[in-house]
Every structure is written in structure tokens, then in C-alpha cells.
């Protein structure tokens, strides 16, 4: 949660946006983008939902160097009416929800250092733009993100932001989607990560479980390492149907007494695609 961030930093507007200042990226910054881009472009075909690749193409994110948000927003606006705006880093939940509810995606304007290619805590421009923006060119996913923003505003009033944040985490950030007899990636936290792109799909360690709204809202998540459980949706249409097209008020009420589910747990009621060995997580604990 990001409610303790206070006021926008100097130079930022009241809605926390800042100019992207594309001309101030160094050649090293652009080279970092290109390296990250090339790695994922090699890895993702076949692993990621084709809807993501269609978005990459449509938005022409592949041209060398860090994208200019104005050009990107122009293309995205034509596709689904979304824009990309720059922010200095994490913004408070209420600000984040307000942007989404108005079809503005906030993206960090900085890029990781060359020695942080594989891991960093705060979302940078590669995670935010490469990871999140391609699916915003998909009309159904674009509606899901806007509905999430509106839902966030209501969840804040209901004191249920934690529940809603779990939905975001296990779909927008770390979601898997069914593809024929197999699974594919769509979550931005996975598709922007070289190592998690393979781990989430191919490693025997994590659970892969059919998406169920209440189940997901009860499940804790990890912010420090690979997930121990991934949730699988059937389609974006189905995700939108099962979630944000409904009123969450009664669901929050039903869940108010429900115990949390651990990051590694499998329930008898789960639709299990793969029961994880949790070998990776256990080995990490032992070190
Ligand atoms: N701010 N810049 C930025 N990016 C996010 O993904 C983000 C945020 N603030 C709050 C937030 N996400 C989440 O905590 C909400 O979805 C609950
Ligand atoms: Fe993200």
C-alpha cells in the first residue's frame, strides 16, 4: 500500500505527474532499455499471450531506445483511449486509482541502472511501459484496468484496499492465462522479468491454480521474490465478468471474517493446474 507517501515531491503536479523529459535520457539509459527489450523479445513469443505481442506491434514499442510518452499515448489513444503519463515513482493509492479510472496509466520516468538489470524494488519505465502498456491496447483489458481504478475508489471507502490490491497483484502483475492445453503469461511483473518469465510457466516449484475471485482476495502475496502461487484465468472477458463488472460490496462483507490463505497453500476446492513442489521457496528459506 502506498498511502504514506504524503504530498507530491517538488516539481510534480498535484496529481503527481511530472514531465517525462525524454531528451534527458543518456545513451546508457537507452542502451539499458534495448538490452532489456531484446532479452524479452527473444523469450516471450510462445510464452506470452499473443494479445500482448499484438499490443507491442500496434504501439511500435520495438523501435530503439526508451519510448516517448507523447508518441506512445497518441497511438494508445487511437486504440483504446488510454494515455501514459510520467510519475517520479510510487504514488498514493488514491492518486493511482484516480488516474486509472480516467484511463491514464502512470509510469515511472526513470530506468534501472545497468547493474540492476534483473532486480529492482520500485517499478521503473521498463516494467511500467514494456510490462503494462501493451495490454492497454486490448479493448477488454483496457476496460478491466479502468474498472479496477473505479473499484479502487470504492474499496478505499469500504476499507477494503488490501483485498483489491491482491486482485491486482494476482492478475495485472502476476497473472497466467489458459491457451489451448497449456498456459501463457500476461502479468506485467512476469513479462518484464527475464527470470520470472520462465519460472512462472515452466518451473515445478510454484502452484498454478484456476482463478477464483474470493480465493484470490484471501491470498497473501510475496513482494520480495518469485510468487509461490500463480492464478490462471480463462480469458480477459471472463476475468472482467467474474470481477469488476460486479459490485464487490457484498463480497468484502462476506470476506471480512475469512482467514488469509498462505502464499504456498493449496485448498481442496482449488482447480489445480499444477501442484507446486515449492522446492525453490524451500531452498531459499534454507540459505
Ligand atoms: N504507484 N506508480 C505507481 N505504480 C503502481 O503500480 C502503484 C502505485 N501506487 C499504488 C499501487 N500501485 C497499488 O498499491 C494499488 O494497486 C493498490
Ligand atoms: Fe506493475
| Closest CA to ligand 1's atom 4 | 90
Taking 80 as the threshold, does the pLDDT of residue 287 lie above it?
no
Q: 479510472: which residue's cell?
A: 101
pLDDT digits (tens, 9 = 90+) for 33-47: 999 999 999 999 999
Buried b (16+ CB within 10 A) or exposed e, 149-162: bebbeebeeeebbe
Which percentage of the chain shows pLDDT scores above 90?
86
Question: What does the pLDDT read at residue 171?
Answer: 98
Residue 191: nearest ligand to its CA? 2
Domain boundaries, the chain: 22-286
Q: The pTM is what?
A: 0.95
Secondary element (H or E) of residue 195: helix 194-202
Question: To which CATH superfamily is domain 22-286 assigned?
Answer: Aromatic amino acid hydroxylase (1.10.800.10)
| Contact 91 CB / ligand 1 (< 6 Å) | yes
CA–CA separation, 21 and 32 (whole Å): 17
Helix axes 139-158, 69-80, angle to 10 degrees: 100
Q: Are strands 182-185 and 176-179 parallel, antiparallel or unpaired?
A: antiparallel
**165 close to ligand 1 (CB < 6 Angstrom):** yes
Ligand 1 atom showing the smallest separation from residue 161 Cα: 17
- pLDDT interval class at 4 (50, 70, 90): low
pLDDT band at 2 (very low <50, low <70, confident <90, very high): low
Over residues 13-22, mean pLDDT: 97
Nearest by Cα to 169 from 153, 188, 185: 188
Residues 175-228 have pLDDT tens digits of 999 999 899 999 999 999 999 999 999 999 999 999 999 999 999 999 989 999
The closest-lying atom of ligand 1 relative to the alpha carbon of residue 164 is: 17
Mean pLDDT estimate for the chain? 94
Q: Is 173 exposed, middle or buried (0-12, 13-18, 19+ CB in 10 A)?
A: buried
Q: What is the pLDDT of residues 220-267, one digit of tens each?
A: 999 989 999 999 999 999 999 888 877 899 999 999 999 999 999 999
Amino acid at each position: 500500500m502506498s498511502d504514506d507517501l504524503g504530498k507530491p515531491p517538488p516539481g510534480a503536479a498535484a496529481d503527481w505527474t511530472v514531465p517525462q523529459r525524454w531528451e534527458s535520457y543518456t545513451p546508457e539509459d537507452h542502451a539499458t532499455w534495448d538490452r532489456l527489450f531484446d532479452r524479452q523479445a527473444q523469450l516471450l513469443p510462445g510464452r506470452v499471450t499473443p494479445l500482448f505481442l499484438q499490443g507491442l506491434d500496434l504501439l511500435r514499442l520495438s523501435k530503439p531506445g526508451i519510448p516517448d510518452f507523447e508518441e506512445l499515448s497518441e497511438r494508445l489513444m487511437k486504440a483504446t483511449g488510454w494515455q501514459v503519463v510520467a510519475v517520479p515513482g510510487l504514488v498514493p493509492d488514491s492518486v493511482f486509482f484516480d488516474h486509472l479510472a480516467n484511463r491514464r496509466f502512470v509510469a515511472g520516468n526513470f530506468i534501472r541502472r545497468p547493474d540492476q538489470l534483473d532486480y529492482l524494488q520500485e517499478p521503473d519505465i521498463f516494467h511500467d511501459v514494456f510490462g503494462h502498456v501493451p495490454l492497454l491496447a486490448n479493448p477488454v483489458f483496457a476496460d478491466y484496468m479502468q474498472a479496477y481504478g473505479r473499484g479502487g475508489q470504492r474499496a478505499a471507502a469500504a476499507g477494503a484496499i488490501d483485498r483489491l490490491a491482491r486482485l491486482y497483484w494476482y492478475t495485472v502483475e502476476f497473472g497466467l492465462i489458459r491457451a489451448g492445453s497449456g498456459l501463457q503469461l500476461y502479468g506485467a511483473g512476469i513479462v518484464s522479468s527475464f527470470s520470472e518469465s520462465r519460472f512462472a510457466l515452466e518451473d515445478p516449484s510454484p502452484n498454478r491454480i484456476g482463478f477464483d475471485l474470493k480465493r484470490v482476495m484471501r491470498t497473501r502475496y510475496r513482494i520480495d521474490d518469485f510468487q509461490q502461487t500463480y492464478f490462471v484465468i480463462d480469458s480477459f472477458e471472463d476475468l472482467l465478468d467474474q470481477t469488476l463488472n460486479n459490485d464487490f460490496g457484498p463480497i468484502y462483507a462476506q470476506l471480512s471474517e475469512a482467514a488469509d490463505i498462505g502464499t504456498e497453500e493449496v485448498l481442496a476446492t482449488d482447480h489445480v493446474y499444477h501442484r507446486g513442489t515449492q522446492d525453490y521457496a524451500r531452498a531459499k528459506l534454507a540459505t
